[in-house]
Amino acid sequence: MNEDALDELAGVLVSATRVAVLTGAGISAESGIPTFRGAQGLWKRFRAEELATPEAFDRDPRLVWEWYDWRRRLIAEAVPNEGHKTLAVWQKAFPSFSLITQNIDGLHGLAGSADPIELHGNIWKTRCPFEGTVRENREVPLSELPPRCPDCGRLLRPHVVWFGESLDSRILDEAFRRCSSCQVLFVVGTSAVVHPAAALPQAAAEAGAVIVEVNPEPTPLSRTADFCFREPSGRMLSRLDRRLEARRRSSARRTR
């Protein structure tokens, strides 16, 4: 890691009041959560695009729910890592802090982050397509496949965004608002190529924000980001947090 860059970024953050973070699959991979494209066993015979669609659910809701039940069991074994925990600490450390995630695993909430903006939904929630009711359900394994709405008795669906579906416009608008008003935007563990989330760093940059990429691999964002850190997010964010705390303590001593 470039220690000079780490120090420079800590200097930027010590005076920042509006910080936003966009996270992707990379931060959860450090907790041992595989991506669905790495599915093994039974699910090798299917592509995600054949299961995570409204058409697949209409055709075979039990098959879709068996896949999600399998994914829920994998995710249930995972725990938040240092990256998740650091971001939960930052929510209290900055006057204005926004956490936006493309992940559906709920690990940010388990780490202590309150009300993250979940662009793609949450695998631990179900939704009644007929009533629109959203409920949390952490039952593992599910006792009923497919599960049914306790109110109307119709089939529930996972509260996630499927291929071919649009993101909730209210959630997406709020994400753009937060990115357009922040001073610093962290882009953590995401390739920043899937739209519309890929446009969030651009919106922040156009508004004058400092863009910080944290990703072991280069991405299209790397060419324009102000800072690029090529290491796992858990290690990098915790190191940056310690450096930031040291800066704050030093500043406090000078003002006494």
Q: Is the model's pTM score more than 0.75?
A: yes
For residues 192 and 219, the answer to whether their CB atoms sit within 8 Å is yes
pLDDT of the residue at 208: 97
Tens-level pLDDT at each residue, the chain (256 residues): 578 899 999 999 999 999 999 999 999 999 998 755 444 444 556 777 788 999 999 999 999 999 999 999 999 999 999 999 999 999 999 999 999 999 999 999 999 999 999 999 999 999 999 999 999 999 999 999 999 999 999 999 999 999 999 999 999 999 999 999 999 999 999 987 778 888 999 999 999 999 999 999 999 999 999 999 999 999 999 999 999 998 888 766 665 5
Could you give all domains of the chain from N- to C-terminal order, each with its CATH number? Answer: 3-32+80-120+167-254 (3.40.50.1220), 34-77+121-160 (3.30.1600.10)
Nearest Cα residue to 142 out of 63, 57, 69: 69
pLDDT of the residue at 38: 44
pLDDT of residue 44: 54
Q: Catalytic site residue 120?
A: yes
User: DSSP states of 123-188 as a string?
Assistant: EEEEE-TTT--EEE---SS-SSSS-B-TTT-PBPEEEEPPTTPPPPHHHHHHHHHHHHH-SEEEEE
Q: Which of 84, 108, 120, 159 is catalytic?
A: 120
User: Which string of b and e fits 200-237 if b means at least 16 CB within 10 Å?
Assistant: bbebbbeeebbbbbbbeeebebeeebbbbbeebbbbbb
What is the pLDDT, as a whole number, of residue 175? 98
Is 217 in a helix, a strand, or coil?
coil
